[in-house]
Structure 1
Amino acid sequence: IGLFRIISESGTAAGVRRIEAVTGEGAIATVHADSDRLNEVAHLLKGDSNNLADKVRSVLERTRQLEKELQQLKEQAAAQESANLSSKA
């Protein structure tokens, strides 16, 4: 058989699993495609495939921080606008 790569798994009925796989050159092609995608993501994150998970965690954490900061700034702007309107009344 050579290289064997599971592509998907699903439940079709109670106690029954369906497994789809490729072998041989098809499996090699999927390995190369996955490697290419990982390298592209690593390049976008300015890292390498060895520390890709750490880079993704870092980007997600930074995104959460920026979203929190944006929400705080929106609240401050709304409070300031409310204070401005109150002082004009």
Structure 2
Amino acid sequence: MKQAWLVKMVRQSTARITLDGLKLASGESATKTIGFFAGALPENPLDRPFTDIDSPTWETSKTVSWTVTGTGTATITFSSTRGGVITTTVDLK
């Protein structure tokens, strides 16, 4: 992923919530950019060249949250260029 990012071949991962019967709190965005994931291998600081000082952090997990009101269904979709797409649905009462 690091090399692909350096040559602009990948986009940052995103999380998106779709609501049915629920509402997002004021000012909340339904889509959030969650950056890049490092994958299974730990990052070695020596792998980062001096020209790459401003590159994103390469975490192995992310936390995303939304504030919603009401009752209904929330579908959350995570999308990553290399990792694919995963979707889960939650009933909120």
Q: TM-score, with normalisation over the residues of structure 2?
A: 0.20
Determine which structure has greater relative contact order: mean sequence separation of CA pairs < 8 Å that are 6+ residues apart, divided by chain length: 2
Which is richer in strand? 2
Structure exhibiting the larger radius of gyration computed from Cα positions: 1
